[in-house]
Amino acid sequence: MVPHLPRMVVAELQAVFGRWSGKAALVLSILIPLAAAAAKVGLESQATEASFNGMPIDQMLDLTAVGVLDWSLTARNAFLLPALLVLATAASVSGELGDNTLRAVLCRPVSRVSVMVAKLSALSILSLASLFLSFLPGVIAGVSLYGMPEDAGIGSIALGYAASWLSDLGLIAMTLAISVFLRNVGGVVVLLILYLMIDKAFGLMLKGLGVIGVDGATTAQKYLPGNALACWEGWNAADGWDPNQFAALALLFVVTLGVSLTRFQRMDVP
């Protein structure tokens, strides 16, 4: 690896945070926990007297700091932030291949592996910053509204945020693997969405096969990329963390990064 890799990462960070996808990711990261807290307050004021199936709705709402963080993390990981991370990743590789800005970089005495590592590092820092900017306002808003929880709830959900970072890394690696084959950001997004839809359908099929007792179907389902990317949900799952999901995520990361590096080293950049 080249000794000036840290400088390359800083330069790449300037590009990643300079694009609208990077800026939007950071702004939304801050807004999501505030919106989650506002939603709790809003629903709390209207629902204290109501009940559902005999349970008061304010209990169902989980009006605690952990409840605010839970909603915030779920909203963050549901669509917007993953979509922005995909856009940021695609812009970083496909976008630069398409507008020829990568050409000037590759004329330089720097290995393509280093360039890819710099891009991956910058994108993982964007994800980390997004999680931090989401977690901190969530804690402040939640604790301000509902006080510090007496149990270890905040620690548990902090692990959920940490697992989200791993999930983001998997998503970034997947997007990189597609990006090195295309010179068009839109194409990367469409292909990734298509893949995730197929993955979902395939997952449901395997789950069904598992229910009717087909050997290995349930295990295979756990190793699908879509399931691996949902590893963060383990923080409050009834069965707790699923090691299979993390193993699948590691496998996804290694395979897709391997594909990216191999292709990037061999490809023509005209």
Partner 1 sequence: MTAPALMTRGLTRRFGSRTAVDDLSIEVQEGDTYGFLGPNGAGKTTAIRCILGLIKKDAGDVAIFGETGLAARRHVGAMVETPAFHKWMSGRANLERAVAFAGVGDRADIDRALELVGLKGREEEPVGTYSLGMRQRLGIARALVGRPRLLILDEPTNGLDPRGMKEVRDLLANLARTEKLTIFISSHLLSEIEALCSRVGIIEDGRMIAEGQVDELVAGRSSVQEVDVAAVDMAALGRVIGGLDGVSLLGDGVEGRLRLGLDGLSVPGLNRSLLDAGIEVEALVPVQKSLEDLFLALTRKEIT
Q: Which positions touch partner 1 (CB under 8 A)? A: 2-4, 7-8, 10-11, 14-15, 18-19, 99-101, 103-111, 115, 266, 268-270
- Indicate the residue among 99 and 159 with the shorter CB distance to partner 1: 99
Q: How far is the CB of 30 from partner 1 (least distance, A)?
A: 22
CB-wise, 5 or 220, nearer to partner 1? 5
Query: Which CB, 4 or 200, lies closer to partner 1?
Result: 4
Distance in Å, CB of 265 to partner 1, minimum: 10
Name the minimum Å distance from CB 26 to partner 1.
16
Query: How far apart are alpha carbons 18 and 28 in whole angstroms?
Result: 15
C-alpha distances in angstroms, 56 versus 50, 131, 145, 149? Answer: 6, 32, 19, 20
Nearer to partner 1, 70 or 96 (CB): 96
In angstroms, what is the minimal distance from the CB of 121 to partner 1? 13
Which residues, other chains included, contact 78 with Cβ-Cβ below 8 Å and sequence gap of 6+? none
Question: What's the rounded Cα separation, in Å, for the pair 14 and 22?
Answer: 10
Q: Which residues pair with 52 in a beta bridge?
A: 55
H/E element, 55: strand 55-56
| Nearest-approach distance from CB 89 to partner 1, in angstroms | 16
Closer CB to partner 1, 17 or 195, in the complex: 17
Closest distance to partner 1 from the beta carbon of 193 (Å): 27
Say how far apart CA 138 and CA 108 lie, in whole Å. Answer: 43
21 neighbors 130 (Cβ within 8 angstroms): no
In terms of Cα–Cα distance, which of 120, 117, 127, 99 is closest to 22?
Answer: 127
> Cβ closer to partner 1: 190 or 267?
267
Residue 189's region, left for phi above 0, alpha for psi from -120 to 50, else beta, is alpha
Give whichever of 3 and 54 is closer to partner 1, judged by the CB atom: 3
Residue pointed to by tokens 């779920």: 74
Minimum distance from residue 10 beta carbon to partner 1 (Å): 7
For the beta carbon of residue 255, count every other beta carbon within 10 angstroms.
Answer: 14
Helix (H) or strand (E) holding 165: helix 153-179
CB-based contact 124:164 (threshold 8 Å): no
